[in-house]
Amino acid sequence: MSIRTTEIIVGAFVLACGLALAFLAVRVSGVDLEGNRDAIMLSARFDEVGGLSSRAKVSMAGVTIGRVIDIDIDTEFGEAIVTMAIDGRLSKLSLDTGARILTEGVLGGKYVGLIPGADEEYLVSGDVIVDTQGAILLENLIGEFVTGAGSK
């Protein structure tokens, strides 16, 4: 085999590896290249978000159905307002749908889990989910255990 052919094969291999690495980086980062135009924008108010970040996943029954778009603070009530973009195909989320902040595994990141309700009316883009449960902070649980506040 000539040196020129070897160089071409090595170059093609390096290019293929670079493309595979870029593909994996996009998949892991959670960037949506399709840009879901039919997304439903919903908000939820939480007393504690505990490390939730923008672009965190929103899931229902373990299936990712959206992403966190923005996290803001309501200074009047001291609550965090989480804005989410939900896949437009899931337009039948009932009004009594609940939201809670969960952790992926022991040391994993935070995400929003939606719990479907049974109401016959549905959420529309711009609605606020009122049935929420904030993040449970491990530091608070340990503090309650150590001080015995949890047994009173």
Rounded Cα distance, 85 and 5, in Å: 50
| 11 secondary structure, DSSP code | H
Per-residue pLDDT of the chain (152 residues; tens, 9 = 90+): 688 889 999 999 999 999 999 988 887 766 654 555 678 899 999 988 888 888 889 999 888 899 999 999 988 988 999 999 998 887 788 888 999 998 887 777 889 999 988 888 888 888 898 888 887 777 777 777 788 755 55
Domain total of the chain: 2
Answer yes or no: are the C-beta atoms of 27 and 70 closer than 8 Å.
Answer: no
The reply to whether 20 and 61 lie within a common domain is no
The reply to whether 106 and 126 lie within a common domain is yes
pTM of the model: 0.69
Residues spanned by the domain of 113 = 40-144
The reply to whether 86 and 121 lie within a common domain is yes
The reply to whether 60 and 87 lie within a common domain is yes
Rounded Cα distance, 151 and 148, in Å: 6
The reply to whether 12 and 84 lie within a common domain is no
Domain annotation covers residue 150: no
Domain annotation covers residue 137: yes
Residue 93: other Cβ atoms inside 10 A: 21
The reply to whether 115 and 71 lie within a common domain is yes
Tokens for 61? Answer: 């029954």
Domain annotation covers residue 102: yes
Domain annotation covers residue 51: yes
Rounded Cα distance, 129 and 99, in Å: 7
Instruction: Say how far residue 106 (Cα) sits from the centre of its chain.
Output: 17
